[in-house]
Amino acid sequence: MQYSLGIDAGGTFTDAVIVRDSDGAIVDSTKVLTTYPDPIGGIKKAIDELEPECVKDVKLVSVSTTLSTNTILEDTGFPVGVILVGDYVIPEEGFPAKYYVQLSGGHTSNGEESAPLDEEGVKRFAMEIKDQVSAFAVSSFFSNRNSEHELRVKQIIRDLTGLPVVCGHELSQEVGAYDRSITAYLNAQLLPITHRFIKSIMQDIKSRGIDANLLMLKCDGSVVGMEEALERPIESIFSGPAASLVGAAYLTKYDTCAMIDVGGTSTDVALIKNGIPELSSQGAVVGGWKTMVKAIRMETSATGGDSHIWTKDQKFHVGPRRVIPLCRAAVEYTGFLEKLKECKNPSRKLFCENIQPTKFYVRTGFLPIDLSRTEEEIYDAIQGVPISYTELFLRLKRQPSVKALDSLIQKRLIQAIGFTPTDALHVLGDFQRWETEASVLGAERLAKFMNTKKEILCKDIKRKVAWNMASDLISYLVKDIPEHVIENMLSGDNFARFKVETPVVLLGGPVVAFKEEMERLIDANIVLPEHSSVGNAVGALVGKGIKRMEILIKRDFAPITGENVTKEELKNAKEVIRYFVFSPDGRQMFSEYLEAVDFATNTAKRYVMDYMKSAGYSEKEVDLEVTKKELSIRDNEEPVETKVIVVGVGTSRVVVEKDVIPDYMRKKAISSRRAAEHSYSGK
């Protein structure tokens, strides 16, 4: 018997599932806390808790992770040297890289060289910083039309330094040199981290005697082999929500559904249509930087099981920051429960997000660097077990700076503990995983300052979380709807019960607790599938291989020149037609339109098949669909521009019953992709 292993290393939990290949049945699953900042420890623990007899017969391992996303958000990537080739306009705030240089070179929109490449400048820059960086990134003007300068820079740097080099055209063939440079820079930052992460997983699997193919899930819901994952770690950002979406479709047998995934930090909403995740028309934005990475379109809000519940002026607030729930802290930190019972409340006049009767602080173990004097004093006062604001006041013998506390949290030197929706569910008995007594104590403290009862407070918190879930769903399904309109729709005694024809699938650990309230707010088929708590790990495994390749053909005119041109030719025609084909291989020129189309089609097919093979598919397991988008100015004339689009869809690696996902993995995916194509604007 053979099995497949799916792993999702999320922000709070790491989930793992074992699926039997013969029928697609989930035979075992587990959920453990994610180890931070290196998730490999949580992954090892998750595998340890699975059935050993099944683990040893695993032949496929597929992983999704928040590692890339968190690295960018926390700005903890490795230093990178960036070379910008061409007339870049750098924003006033500057380029995000510490080490970058702008040099002459680049090409025009037709792929003609606009200026010679400054090779000496490349050499000087590389030698100056080679000992301060871990990788290089290069982005050249219109490298998507001609990659010669990027490839030359790559060769020079590799010869001089031996360090890896990321080229912008390797990551995107879309127009937009600056966005390509950002994408290349972020990707280069992630190379050493991803390499270490993947190698650690491979070593752990090998140490268990498992001979398996290792894949990673991308942020568009497709999977890729390790070779490409090592080269393009930027494409794994947001792979967690993508895994949840694919998992929701698999668990429910729906090829079209909306998904609401309630995690520890956030709630994600996304949609899958006819087996294909809906993608954002824009590149993924992460850490405030717009990239050219195609990702699923999703609505994300800072409401999760670990969102901080805090009170001020007899009202409670949810988030946006994440804390360790009281119930969990009571299990993780010896003596915390007793401290929670005995600690004194701060004055309600001081109440804010960081000063609460249920908030505590503990060190994370990160090495402190560049602390102010105030930050250093507070950091030194926080030792051993978690400490409350009042205790901190007594140790410092003065009121601690809220600004300094906040800065230490942002720098991830201290972690906050507080009351959360998870605690509220513990009080109500809807979810029991850790120490309920700690949750009850926290609820009593907050309820006292709000002049209510703990049960009423927790029910209100539960309703608020469900309300946020419903609001996120409406915001996703009805684009550009104002927030106040959604609030009016869902509030009041006579609220409009929003109707959704598409099935809505709920995923997440305690999400069952919110189903009834969601059904009150939303008129839809709201589904809570079996194994919903580990749906993202399922998605990491059953994500299919999908590769989409676009190649542009552009018609151009050139003056007729040459010694053999006759007077008659000059009289009858001033120009000759030529066709440029722009692909990752570079620019090619043809005199005949059909020749250009054939070349573009064959090149796109080759790139798609190479990708699918790297993901472990054979040619027989891949369906190819070729379409063309043509932009013409006059009838009966060859198109001015043509996009040749090749889409490859691989068959599922997990065998399922015939009625589960027949077209989900194959022909329906291709037809839906074609239907979802946006009309070609020619831009």
CATH number of the domain to which 160 belongs: 3.40.50
Q: What are phi and psi of 243, to 5 degrees?
A: -65, -40
3-state secondary structure of 78: coil
Average pLDDT, the chain: 84
d(CA 168, CA 153): 12
- Asked whether residue 256 is domain-assigned, the answer is no
> Residue 526: its pLDDT value, please?
93
> Residue 422: its pLDDT value, please?
93
d(CA 606, CA 612): 10
- Asked whether residue 376 is domain-assigned, the answer is yes
Q: Is the pLDDT of residue 679 over 70?
A: no
d(CA 585, CA 578): 19
For residue 47, give the nearest of 59, 57, 32 by alpha carbon.
32
> Residue 683: its pLDDT value, please?
29
> Residue 28: its pLDDT value, please?
92
- The larger pLDDT score, comparing residue 175 to residue 653, is at 175
- Asked whether residue 87 is domain-assigned, the answer is yes
**Residue 460 class from Cβ within 10 Å (0-12 exposed, 13-18 middle, 19+ buried)?**
middle
For residue 491, give the nearest of 513, 525, 464 by alpha carbon.
464
Last residue of a domain, one of 416, 449, 465: 416
3-state secondary structure of 318: strand
Q: Identify the H or E element spanning 464.
A: helix 454-477
> Residue 493: its pLDDT value, please?
66
Decide if 43 contacts 14 (C-beta within 8 A): yes
Decide if 597 contacts 645 (C-beta within 8 A): no
Mean pLDDT lowest among 310-319, 435-444, 448-457, 569-578: 569-578
Question: Tokens standing for 564?
Answer: 């053999």
- The larger pLDDT score, comparing residue 203 to residue 617, is at 203
Confirm whether pTM is higher than 0.85. Answer: no
Last residue of a domain, one of 347, 381, 416: 416
Residue 324 CB: number of other CB atoms within 10 A? 23
- Asked whether residue 221 is domain-assigned, the answer is no
- Asked whether residue 519 is domain-assigned, the answer is no
Q: Is the pLDDT of residue 243 over 60?
A: yes
| 63 CB-near residues (< 8 Å, 6+ apart) | 6, 7, 8, 9, 43, 201, 214, 215, 216, 217, 540
Decide if 29 contacts 18 (C-beta within 8 A): yes
Mean pLDDT of 10-17: 86
Decide if 456 contacts 422 (C-beta within 8 A): no
Residue 658 confidence class, pLDDT cut points 50, 70, 90: very low
> Residue 388: its pLDDT value, please?
92
Q: Is the pLDDT of residue 665 over 70?
A: no
- Asked whether residue 605 is domain-assigned, the answer is yes
Q: What is the pLDDT of residues 89-123, one digit of tens each?
A: 888 777 888 899 999 999 988 888 899 999 999 99
- The larger pLDDT score, comparing residue 662 to residue 98, is at 98
Q: What is the pLDDT of residues 125-168, one digit of tens each?
A: 999 999 999 999 999 998 888 888 999 999 999 999 999 999 99
> Residue 117: its pLDDT value, please?
95
For residue 340, give the nearest of 323, 350, 351, 325 by alpha carbon.
325
- Asked whether residue 122 is domain-assigned, the answer is yes
CA distances from 94 to 98, 106, 182, 458 (A): 9, 21, 12, 47
d(CA 238, CA 662): 27
For residue 5, give the nearest of 88, 61, 81, 87 by alpha carbon.
61
Q: What is the pLDDT of residues 309-358, one digit of tens each?
A: 999 988 999 888 888 999 999 999 999 999 999 889 998 888 988 899 99
> Residue 386: its pLDDT value, please?
93
Side-chain-side CA neighbours of 373 within 13 Å: the count stands at: 0
Q: Is the pLDDT of residue 668 over 50?
A: no
Strands 165-167 and 26-33, by their bridges, are unpaired
In the chain, the number of structural domains is: 3
The alpha carbon dihedral of 144, 148, 153, 158 has a sign of positive
- Per-residue HEC secondary structure of 214-263 comes to EEEECCCCCEEEHHHHHHCHHHHCCHHHHHHHHHHHHHHCCCCEEEEEEC
Q: What are phi and psi of 33, to 5 degrees?
A: -70, 140
Residue 669 confidence class, pLDDT cut points 50, 70, 90: very low
Segment of 124-133, 469-478, 509-518 carrying the highest mean pLDDT: 124-133
- Asked whether residue 241 is domain-assigned, the answer is no
Which residues are bridge partners to 332 per DSSP? none
3-state secondary structure of 296: strand
Q: Is the pLDDT of residue 258 over 90?
A: yes
> Residue 558: its pLDDT value, please?
62
Cα 237–Cα 155–Cα 79 angle in degrees, nearest 5: 40
Q: How far apart are the first and last CA of the chain?
A: 52
d(CA 46, CA 208): 13
> Residue 221: its pLDDT value, please?
81
3-state secondary structure of 295: coil
- The larger pLDDT score, comparing residue 574 to residue 128, is at 128
d(CA 262, CA 18): 22
> Residue 652: its pLDDT value, please?
56
Domain span including residue 616: 546-675
For residue 234, give the nearest of 154, 135, 151, 328 by alpha carbon.
135
Residue 547 confidence class, pLDDT cut points 50, 70, 90: confident
Q: Is the pLDDT of residue 283 over 50?
A: yes
Residue 419 CB: number of other CB atoms within 10 A? 32
Question: Tokens standing for 403?
Answer: 């600004």
> Residue 572: its pLDDT value, please?
52
Last residue of a domain, one of 187, 208, 229: 187
| 535 CB-near residues (< 8 Å, 6+ apart) | 244, 247, 248, 251, 261, 505, 507, 508, 529
